[in-house]
Amino acid sequence: MKVASRPSHVDPLLPDGTPDYGKAHWYDENAVKLVDGQTKTEMHAERAILAAKFMQEMNAAHDDFAGLGAGQENNLGAETLADLIYLQGAIISGGKTTTNPSRSNLTAIIQALPSAATWQTYVLTTSRVPAASDIK
């Protein structure tokens, strides 16, 4: 029976040769770099599982995603649907997405989901109206 070994710790060196304790790196027994105790593969798998959970919660809460965009004024529905796609991308990448409550119902929609606190960590709320140069 193989017993998992503890990760090894490496402190990169500063230019003067002393260890840089603020930027320690950890490696598993196969010399694979760990981030927050996980390999990159484990992190990607965890994010994929979270993204799938997000879609499961959305599917359970809404019979029809098109209904989220129907009947909204000032293109609010289209912005909301786009923000939902951006949110799933943020979950998969481990990043963040930005939403403007005056242009999208994203925040209200995710607050109604069982894991709202988790999904909210991937959302930055802004009131700034994007400039034309921001739109690609």
* Structural domain count, the chain: 2
Is there a single domain that holds both residue 57 and residue 98? yes
Rounded distance between C-alpha atoms, residue 136 and residue 29, angstroms: 45
Where in the sequence is the domain holding 81, given as residue range(s)? Answer: 46-134
Over the stretch 29-54, which tens digit does the pLDDT of each residue have?
A: 666 666 666 677 788 888 999 999 99
Residue 98: inside a domain, yes or no?
Answer: yes
- Please provide the DSSP assignment of 46-57 as one string: HHHHHHHHHHHH
Over the stretch 7-33, which tens digit does the pLDDT of each residue have?
A: 444 555 667 777 666 666 666 666 666
Is there a single domain that holds both residue 114 and residue 63? yes
CA neighbor of 8 nearest in space, from 23, 40, 39, 30: 30
Residue 54: inside a domain, yes or no?
Answer: yes
Residue 41: inside a domain, yes or no?
Answer: no
pLDDT at 111 over 50: yes
Burial of 12 per CB tally in 10 Å (0-12, 13-18, 19+) = exposed
Is there a single domain that holds both residue 15 and residue 67? no
Is there a single domain that holds both residue 29 and residue 52? no
Q: Give pLDDT, residue 79.
A: 87
pTM for this entry = 0.66
pLDDT at 102 over 60: yes
